[in-house]
Amino acid sequence: MSREFLQPSLAVSPLILACVVLPLALAATQAVPGGPSRAGTVEPAAWFTLAWLGALPVLRGSGGSALKTLGAALVLGLATLALFLYAAPALRAVSPPPAWIPELTPPAFLLLAWLWASSFGPPSRRAFLVCGGILGLLRCLELTLNLTVLDRLPLTCSLGEPDSLACVLVFCLCAALSARGETPPGRAGLWLFAILPGLAACFSALALFTAGWCLLFFGPGRLRLRLPLFVLCLLLTAAALILPLDQSAALTRLEQSRQWLAVFQALGETPGAWLAGLPLNQPLPLDTSPDLLSLLQAIGRGPAMRLSEVHAFWPRLTASWGLPGPLLLLGLPAVPVLRRPTAFGAGAYAACLSLGLTTPLLYSGSVAVVLGLALLSASSGPSRSSARV
């Protein structure tokens, strides 16, 4: 099998994992007895396996032989086995468990995306559209089954966390964007209309609104073609806001403002927290408002929360890393966007800023890897010759 065939096939592997394999694996895990309790280990195991496979070309080097590659794989496999046999039990025995490990998730997955693209090249824009379209169709199929066969709530999602699915779909949708002077990928409109229904089926109001203004400001075609898509996204956003929600989704929306206030109150009260972040193993300040306290007790929540319970990405990142964390994360992804400006890169970067206001964003491996690959793919294409008027 030629290297010319393998390169594009391997380049798209993370997208296939994020948009097809992982959602189907999570749905299958939820369907078997005892599966829901193990669902949380499926995604980390899948990305760890992909990282292991991606490390082989790096270990081999440019002039290494097949024997050296086999030896490197054996060493890496033994190191992985030792990690699971000895390091994992030792970490589980620590009480309380290290609170800093989950906070390394965003840089770890962005690094994985960069290393993968360095080894195999970034995926094509068409690959984003195809994988996003398949994920959108899977979510629409699940919603149809929930409503017609399984008699479950519409928001029930076995394919993964709805906000994470919505973020992945928005970044895949950005591959259809093209400014004046850019050539859109083939059949971009067809896959766009497979992604939008899936996005609507996630019931994520912010993701729908973000997709709408991305299409309005960065979308392909003339304004008279982009404006109806923006209006459609606004209508879907309104529908997502007024539809009846399950308890988990309602709780997430009610706690958004509370989480933001608790984080910034703690930052203001802790000396040096704006530079170094908050202590990760301590709860955020108590919210003893009588009305909110009674509501939290009614739904089984306490007035205090830990940093790991903060749903929105930007306040959690600021609380764990201080201001250097978000500033660094805003600066590094902007490098490929500014180096070769495209509508795809500008849309993905702007969507990242918006979606982090209410969603976990890069604390999900699928979202972080898809965003990283999207920015690298956008910077590897032809630059935008002129701005849209």
Give the C-alpha separation, 389 to 381, whole Å: 22
- Chain Cα centroid distance, residue 21: 15
Q: What share of the chain is helix, strand, coil (3-state, %, to 5)?
A: 70, 0, 30
Of 388, 305, 285, 376, nearest to 334 (Cα)?
376
Give the C-alpha separation, 8 to 226, whole Å: 31
Give the C-alpha separation, 291 to 288, whole Å: 9
Give the C-alpha separation, 209 to 384, whole Å: 25
- Cα 104 to Cα 98, 191, 370: the distances in Å are 11, 34, 17
- Chain Cα centroid distance, residue 212: 18
Give the C-alpha separation, 331 to 355, whole Å: 17
Q: Is 387 exposed, middle or buried (0-12, 13-18, 19+ CB in 10 A)?
A: exposed
Three-class secondary structure assignment of 23-77:
HHHHHHHHHCCCHHHHHHHHHHHHHHHHHHHHHHHHHHCCCCCHHHHHHHHHHHH
Give the C-alpha separation, 378 to 345, whole Å: 5
Residue 156: predicted pLDDT: 72
Give the C-alpha separation, 389 to 380, whole Å: 24
Residue 96: predicted pLDDT: 64
- The three-class DSSP label of residue 264 is helix
* Residue 184 contacts residue 190 (beta carbons within 8 Å): no
Residue 384: predicted pLDDT: 44
- Cα 190 to Cα 133, 168, 177, 380: the distances in Å are 9, 18, 13, 24
Of 284, 297, 237, nearest to 258 (Cα)?
284
Residue 283: predicted pLDDT: 77
Q: 298 is written with which tokens?
A: 């009614």
Give the C-alpha separation, 288 to 295, whole Å: 11
Residue 303: predicted pLDDT: 55
Token look-up 């709805």 returns 162
Q: Count of CB atoms within 10 A of residue 340's CB?
A: 14
* Residue 306 contacts residue 258 (beta carbons within 8 Å): no
Task: State the sign of the Cα–Cα–Cα–Cα dihedral 154, 352, 378, 116.
Answer: negative
At residue 24's C-alpha, the angle toward residues 29 and 112, to 5°, is 100
Peptide bond into 106 cis (omega under 30): no
Residuewise pLDDT in 10s, the chain (389 residues): 444 445 567 889 999 999 999 999 888 887 776 666 666 777 888 888 888 777 766 665 545 566 666 666 676 667 666 666 666 666 666 666 677 788 888 888 898 888 888 888 899 888 999 999 999 999 999 888 888 876 666 677 778 788 899 999 999 999 988 876 666 677 777 888 889 999 998 888 899 999 998 888 887 777 888 888 899 999 999 888 887 665 556 656 667 777 788 888 888 888 888 888 888 877 776 654 545 555 555 555 555 577 877 888 999 999 888 899 899 888 888 888 888 888 898 899 999 999 999 888 999 889 999 999 999 998 885 544 333 32
Q: 18 is written with which tokens?
A: 């994020």
